[in-house]
Amino acid sequence: MAPYAMAADLIMARVAGDTAKFHEQLRKAREVLMSPLDTEIAQTPYDVVWQEDRVKLKHYHARREPLLKTPLFIVYAQVNRETMLDLQPGRSVVETFLNAGLDIYMLDWGYPTRKDRFLNLDDHINGYIDGAVDFILETHGLDQLNIMAICQGGTMSVIYAALHPEKVKNLVLTVTPTNFDHDAGLLNVWARSLDPDKLVASYGNIPGDIMNLGFLLLNPARLMIDKYVGFLENIHNKDFVENFVRMERWIFDSPDLPGEAFREFIQWMFRENRLIKNELVIGGKKVDLKNITMPVLNIYGKYDHLVPPAACDQLTSKIGSTDKEDVCLDTGHIGIYVSSKTQRQFGPKIIHWLTERDEAPGPADGETKKSASRKKKAGATAEGE
């Protein structure tokens, strides 16, 4: 029997149950699918305040009197899109932060094209991330900002904090892999067996669809069968259908990965584990984790199949900071940001932690700092872009 036919048979058998019930489900499903559906994601307004090449910096304005003197700069991974942090009203980390009075900047890596093929980790960390940081610091007349980073964006932010500790006031890491020498997740086992040189030589940039297929195959029963069975069983529920489509839109909105940066990440992190061993060199400078002396909050998920606790829980023992905390939540890789349970823990924990480490209100005269090290490229302003 063909594997696809077998999967289809399983789905239909589970959905059908008895014939009468199946027909009633189809009738209700028709009503839902024929009605208007709200499946938009990332609806919170923002301004694009800085841009370099394809990379943009979004500014989300606090919805009340600013709570902190220091703005929060969010660095997402290059795999998938930062829109996951603002999936929908009521399930939005961005919304939680804005309602609390945080001033947020978020990096949008955009969609790499063939001209990005040779951009490496140095270009992304000491180029794009540092450029955005300097823009924010100059705009606010500050010497330091807070960084919150996600997954691979966290790995790059750890490197950034070690290379530029004078610019980072507090560092919040979420589901951030820093130790790659473990077998706790299938992703780690597969990534170590890859030949990144051959992949990049074959594809140039690594297609987002290839990455997505790999992620689905990490748990095919759950992600390729169970999920869609659940969808069919709940297809008469409009809220469920809308939430399902929103998540699918996010999952399959997958940018390609710049080839050289991918090659270095696979080789230096997954295959050689250089970061946690303090052997990584970026831009000609050693990435010394002892240089990370700012407060660090390290949050990860107990049931994360992509970045398991073994990938996250060694970092705080390696850095120079004395103010550091590990938090392991009972959730998975995405649930940490979108589940209703962790929405009540995740955002409030970060807000409280940052508030305890903030200072008095910002500069009274509003003058901008003149000593930023890089000349920023003026960015277009496009609300809601």
Residue among 118, 168, 152, 112 at smallest CA distance from 268: 152
Residue among 111, 47, 48 at smallest CA distance from 255: 111
* Cβ partners under 8 Å of residue 278, min gap 6: 286, 287, 288, 289, 290, 318
* Cβ partners under 8 Å of residue 284, min gap 6: none
User: Cα 90 to chain center, whole Å?
Assistant: 19
Catalytic residue, chosen from 74, 94, 102, 151, is 151
Catalytic residue status for 151: yes
Are residues 125 and 163 in contact, defined by beta-carbon separation less than 8 angstroms?
yes
Question: Beta strands 145-150 and 168-174: pairing type?
Answer: parallel
C-alpha–C-alpha distance, residues 372 and 29, integer Å: 57
Which run of H or E residues covers position 250?
helix 238-251
C-alpha–C-alpha distance, residues 319 and 176, integer Å: 15
Burial grade of 304 (CB within 10 A; 0-12, 13-18, 19 or more): buried
C-alpha–C-alpha distance, residues 111 and 365, integer Å: 39
Give me the residues paired with residue 60 across strands.
Answer: 104
Q: Which residues are catalytic?
A: 151
